[in-house]
Amino acid sequence: MKKVVVFGAGNIGRGFFAQLFFEAGYETVFIDINEAIVNELNKRRGFTIKIVGAKEREIAVRNVRAVNGRDLAAVAAELLTADIAATAVGVNVLNNICPALAAGIKLRADSVATLPLNIIIGENMINAGVFVKQKVKEILGPDYENYIENFAGFVETVLGRMIPVMPETLRSRDSLYIMVEEFCTLPVAKHSFKGKVPAIKNLLPSTHFLSFEEKKLYIHNLGHSVCAYLGFLKKYELIRQAVEDKDIRKYVKGAMLETGRAIIKKHKLPEKEVLDYIDDLLERFANKNLGDTVVRVGRDPVRKLGPKDRFAGSAELAAEFGYKPENIAYGMAAGLLFKPSGDEAAAKIQKILNDKGPGEVLKEISGLKLEDELYNMVLEKYNKLKGQVL
């Protein structure tokens, strides 16, 4: 049986990658530092995924086991005999797993393994593959550079499947049970693979990968975040409640159209393809069965409001192609007012906001300058929103 090593046994690892690889005939070995999850996976060797939506069904995923990520030697040994690997740990943790990836690649090189190891980087980060490759090179040094260039593929992806946080009532009954939406396509950068691209259902190798990345970050992630931040201000609990609000939906769709039209021009895409993508996303956001919350979708606003991320990056792209990012700026202003309890990133923004004002947040967090048009647009909309909230 072919083997995939998946870093991260969380939502994406269990709720997306496990289904893809199980249905393609792979054994899945999860790498995780949560001992309770590792032990449960090894005890049961499987779990259940519930597809929610118009055609609900359950999938029993089998042929799985797990290794504690703190055991570097054990992780490297799994990578030595892996056919493929994947990461699903989150952008903030990606740097932490690079030593384990490096240890596995070193073991393969020292064993004179000639079959390539392709690592699917399942993180919402443009140029994630370049980042991981560079980190691994730094760890292993020049002696392994030639092996990395020829036998290690760092393959970027676009994660489109939406997976909400499991309700505590369900989690307490089954820590591995997970609910996901029907959408299950994984675009990957074809040029990043070493050797043949594996034949896996719903794995979509693309030669025009940047357009997929930009649609995901600057349309999907942008719209989701606008929905969350405006929904929070209106005291909605669920994303579907927010997107069903006509006023919020207008801003969400408006923001996605501002960058959507820029992406159409930049990549010479058919207009209908992108407009249909936006309409489909709005319907997926409204999926009543997902139960996704505005707090989950909006969390970590420091990253989401950062330079080149979904707001500042989208606004820059829209402006580059002649579209004024009015709706993007409105959503970004709402992000300054996002302050759920327990979100450390949101608390950081609130401290800067209270101590120094909104302009300083835009400078420190978003990398904007006083002379930037977006800086002034966001400040104007922030003052209007703040008045409404108060």
100-133 pLDDT, tens digit per residue, is: 999 999 999 999 888 999 999 999 787 899 999 9
- Look-up: residue for tokens 């190798």? 205
Torsion of CA 306, 307, 308, 309, to 10 degrees: 0
* C-alpha–C-alpha distance, residues 254 and 216, integer Å: 16
Measured from the Cβ of residue 320, the count of other Cβ atoms closer than 10 Å reads: 11
Bridge-partner residues for 121, per DSSP?
87, 156
**Does the pLDDT value for residue 23 go beyond 60?**
yes
Average pLDDT over residues 70-74: 97
Task: Please tell me which residue, 166 or 320, carries the higher pLDDT value.
Answer: 320
List of E strands, 63-141: 64-68, 84-87, 117-121
Instruction: Assess whether pLDDT exceeds 70 at residue 308.
Output: yes
Query: Among candidates 226, 63, 13, 211, which has minimal Cα distance to 126?
Result: 211
Render pLDDT for 133-153 as a digit per residue (tens, 0 to 9): 999 999 999 999 999 999 999
Compute the mean pLDDT over every residue in the chain, rounded to the nearest whole number. 95
Q: What is the pLDDT of residue 89?
A: 96
Q: Which pLDDT score is estimated for 27?
A: 98
Domains and CATH numbers, the chain: 2-207 (3.40.50.720), 210-389 (1.10.1040.10)
Question: What percentage of residues in the chain have a pLDDT greater than 70?
Answer: 99
Give the full edge-to-edge strand order of the sheet including 2-7: 64-68, 26-32, 2-7, 84-87, 117-121, 152-156
Residues contacting residue 344 through CB under 8 Å, at least 6 positions apart: none
Please say if the pLDDT value at position 390 is more than 60.
no
Distances (CA, A) of 3 to 25, 56, 84, 202, 265: 9, 29, 7, 18, 41
Global confidence as pTM: 0.82
CA distance 157 to 184: 13
Q: Which one-letter amino acid corresponds to residue 267?
A: H
Q: Which of 241, 217, 250, 254 is nearest to 294 (CA)?
A: 241
Query: What mean pLDDT comes out for the span 348-371?
Result: 97
Is the confidence at residue 54, as pLDDT, over 80?
no
Q: Is the per-residue pLDDT at 280 higher than 80?
A: yes
> Is pLDDT of 359 > 90?
yes
90: which 2 tokens?
A: 């989150």
The dihedral over CA atoms of 313, 317, 319, 324, expressed in degrees to the nearest 10, equals -70
Nearest to 345 by CA among 322, 361, 321, 323: 361
pLDDT at 329 over 70: yes
Per-residue pLDDT, averaged over 368-380, amounts to 96
Q: Evaluate if residue 327 carries a pLDDT over 80.
A: yes
- Contact assessment for residue 122 and residue 159, using Cβ atoms and an 8 Å cutoff: yes
Is a pLDDT exceeding 80 seen at residue 389?
no
- HEC profile for 23-57? HCCEEEEEEECCHHHHHHHHHHCEEEEEEECCCCE
Task: Tell me the per-residue pLDDT of 203-250, one tens digit each, with 9 for 90 and over.
Answer: 999 888 889 989 999 999 999 999 999 999 999 999 999 999 999 999
